[in-house]
Structure 1
Amino acid sequence: MKLFCVFICVFILTSCKYFNVKKTSSEAILKEELQTFNWNDVDEYPSFSVCDSLSLKEDRKGCFQAVLTIHIWEFLKRENLVVTKDIHDTILLEFQVDKSGNLLLIDAEIDSLTVQEIPNIKSLLNESLDSLPEVFPAIKRGQQVTTKFELPIIINVN
């Protein structure tokens, strides 16, 4: 029986390597975290103060897009655009909201007829952004981040 107890004690002492804790470096943890990180999604979309009362992420996104669309549409409406041909076009605007909340028009896909009839359409679109209310940037994991998004604007001028 003593031999058995000694054998068990020796076995336990030699098997301690199974109880060693594997040390993981912070770089390895970061690398693993970055692989599982979805870079194409944010926790909170860019927002205006009128959208703050909404709690659902998709509702806030829809509110942001609606406020931006209405603002641009009303600006263009006040410009009293005069054209020789009717324009029924969907302009695809690409925006960027940086970490500071600055909204920038990156690109605009505009039909050639629309550009022919309204040659200053891009400058008008940029001007419309100057009078926007304060934009709050997108948030990812508690940090303000730069985001890009596309927004279609329908132009109907008769």
Structure 2
Amino acid sequence: MKQIAVFLLCFMLASCQYFDIEKTSSDAILKKELKTFNWKELDSYPSFKTCDSLQSKLDAKQCFETTLANHISSKLQEKTIIVTQDINDTIMLSLLISEKGALLINAIEIDSITTLEIPEIKHLISESLNTLPTIYPAIKRGQQVKSQFKLPIVLQVN
């Protein structure tokens, strides 16, 4: 009987380590979660109402960029632009869409010849962006977030 009691006592003392609960702080959990995020990828890209019905993330992104480029192009085509030489340029727009859906221009990269021929080109582009339909912001993990991207605009004036 003493042997069984000694055995149970040793067993209980040795098994106490299995009952220890490792406490994890909320900071440790947060750090671990943050390491698993892919911060460069969004759950859904910014969109217009016309692009909301698309299921594929790639199709929705392409729809947004195409709609935006077409809107800018149509607004530029409405203007009468007179030049002394033919222009065939690609304008790079660096855009930021806030978590509220507001579109801001970070930078516009334009060739110097285009700027000389059409000095008001930046103003025309800014003006065309002011008439955009409502933009729905990008979403990451169920939250509306800021997103930044570059949009090429091909400009051909003959």
Q: Superposed, which structure 2 residues align to 1:124-135 within 5 Å?
A: 124-135=124-135
Identity of aligned residues (%): 50
Determine helix, strand or coil for the equivalent of 2:44.
coil
TM-score (ref. length: structure 2): 0.95
Give 1:61's aligned amino acid: K
- Structure 2 distance, partners of 1:6, 1:45, is 67
TM-score (ref. length: structure 1): 0.95
**Which residue pairs with 2:38 in the alignment?**
38
- Structure 1 distance, partners of 2:151, 2:28, is 39
Structure 1 vs Structure 2 CA RMSD:
1.1
**Which residue pairs with 2:54 in the alignment?**
54
Task: Number of aligned residue pairs: give it.
Answer: 157
Give 1:79's aligned amino acid: K
**Which residue pairs with 1:10 in the alignment?**
9
Question: How far has the Cα of 1:132 moved from its partner?
Answer: 0.3
Higher mean Cα deviation, 29-38 or 10-19? 10-19
- Structure 2 distance, partners of 1:66, 1:111, is 22
**Which residue pairs with 1:155 in the alignment?**
155
Spell out, residue by residue over 1:112-150, the C-alpha distance to the aligned partner (whole angstroms, 9 max, x if none). 010000101111111001110000000000000011000
Question: How far has the Cα of 1:94 moved from its partner?
Answer: 0.3
Q: 1:78 to 1:18 in 2, by over 3 A?
A: same
Unaligned runs of 5+ in 1: none
**Which residue pairs with 1:22 in the alignment?**
22
Unaligned runs of 5+ in 2: none
- Structure 2 distance, partners of 1:143, 1:85, is 48
- Structure 2 distance, partners of 1:70, 1:32, is 42
